[in-house]
Amino acid sequence: MREGPVALRPMAAGDAEALLAIHERPEVRAWWGAPVAGFPLEDEEATRLAVLVDDEIAGLIQFYEEDDPEFRHASIDVFLDPGVTGRGHGTAALRLLVRHLLEERGHHRITIDPAVDNHPAIRSYEKVGFRRVGTLEAAWRDEDGRWRDLLLMELVDRGRLGASG
């Protein structure tokens, strides 16, 4: 998947060192916390993709899928190297993944839940079409042990709902 200089591809073992270095950057770690053992190659629930900018590792984007027909949807998370932010690369990566989840994976609803004070991320999500749903109070404990609020956002493709939607 590619949009201009931004591409998404399946993770490779050789991506781990670069992604760990990005994850440890204070600007990323503030929102993602400390990397867990096995990160970024091991995760039983998420599908992780490398984000490339000009064919260089620039971040990670992942999605989770709820396949129960009664609650089917996808959730996503993303981080980028602070050295490539502010130029639309995160928005492009999100658009690529959203398109994949809607058109190829058959989802009609996608959620994301940034910290309420992560304003640059929220602006990027809104550019892609996510809308604010509400605040999840005290939903995430940061590295300092403080409970923080998250903003629940969703993107719904109403054209995929069918007659019963």
Question: Following DSSP, what letter does each residue of 26-37 receive, concatenated?
Answer: HHHHHHH-SPPT
- Given a cut of 50, whether residue 165 has pLDDT beyond it is no
Residue 93 falls inside a structural domain: yes
CATH of the domain at 87: 3.40.630.30
Tens-place pLDDT, residues 83-132: 999 899 999 999 999 999 999 999 999 999 999 999 999 999 999 999 99
Please provide the size of the chain in residues.
165
Tens-place pLDDT, residues 13-29: 899 999 999 999 999 99
Residue 95 falls inside a structural domain: yes
What pLDDT is stored for residue 47 in this prediction?
94
| Over residues 34-47, mean pLDDT | 86
CB 74 within 8 A of CB 105: yes
Q: What is the pTM of this model?
A: 0.90
What pLDDT is stored for residue 29 in this prediction?
93
Q: How many domains does the chain divide into?
A: 1
DSSP-assigned letters across all residues of 23-84: HTSHHHHHHH-SPPTTTTT--SS-EEEEEEETTEEEEEEEEEEE--TTT-EEEEEEEE-GGG
Task: Provide the residue range defining the domain that includes 112.
Answer: 2-160
- Given a cut of 90, whether residue 67 has pLDDT beyond it is no
pLDDT level of residue 163 (50, 70, 90 thresholds): very low
Single-letter amino acid, residue 109: R
Average pLDDT taken over every residue of the chain: 92
CB 14 within 8 A of CB 20: no
User: What is the rounded CA–CA span in Å between residue 138 and residue 115?
Assistant: 10
Residue 165 falls inside a structural domain: no
Q: Which two tokens stand for residue 139?
A: 């939903």
Residue 23 falls inside a structural domain: yes
pLDDT level of residue 38 (50, 70, 90 thresholds): confident
* CB-count exposure of residue 1 (10 Å: 0-12, 13-18, 19+): middle
3-state class (DSSP) for residue 150: strand
pLDDT level of residue 162 (50, 70, 90 thresholds): low
Single-letter amino acid, residue 12: A
